Amino acid sequence: MVPMPTIKELSSEEELLRCVDLLWAAFGTVARDFGLTEESAPTNAAFTTLENLHRHLQTDMTLYEMFYDASLVGCVAIKKSKRDEPVLSIERLAVGPDNRHRGYGEQLRSFAIQRIRGNGGTTALIGLMDNNDRLKKWYRSKGFVQHDCKGFAHLPFRVCFMSLDLVES
């Protein structure tokens, strides 16, 4: 029998450091593909630091890691709305480059949706690079709908915001 991946909340400094490495590797491929640098897009997950993760974890974000066998294969974060709405964001969904195309991203997305529902959420929100057509197509195939797109002064790309109504789905 093939072992199933396990997903658990990060709880130690060692786990956070592993997650930083995974985020650099996973989002780093996207950063290279789109010509992003730490200077041009410092808030992109490809350039996450341990301090950055600590800061996010202090602002209503929960981070989870996924293991298969004894290897870290991915992570995902869920962040509560600043306005105390039943809208929660899926953030930093990442699968290491060597583990892509094996269904881990879908398992992490599904896990995040279950957690959002379990926390009383009625809407899941995701923000991504507007010019990342492949990723937008993937989220659309999972029922997400684009509802906004805007530019930010600190980013060299527009951000596409997509949502999934959890009451309907």
Q: Crossing angle of helices 50-57/13-33, nearest 10°?
A: 110
| HEC-encoded secondary structure of 107-119 | HHHHHHHHHHHHC
Residue 154: strand, helix, or coil:
coil
Query: pLDDT by residue (tens digit) across 112-134?
Result: 999 999 989 999 999 999 999 99
Question: Structural domain boundaries of the chain?
Answer: 6-165
**The pLDDT of residue 84 is above 90:** no
CATH of domain 6-165: 3.40.630.30
Q: What is the pLDDT of residues 21-45, one digit of tens each?
A: 999 999 999 999 999 999 999 989 9
Assess whether pLDDT exceeds 80 at residue 168.
Answer: no
β-pairing verdict for 158-165 and 71-80: unpaired
Confidence of residue 59 (pLDDT cuts 50, 70, 90): confident
Largest CA distance in the chain: 51
Tokens of 80: 């509560």
% of residues, the chain, pLDDT over 90: 78
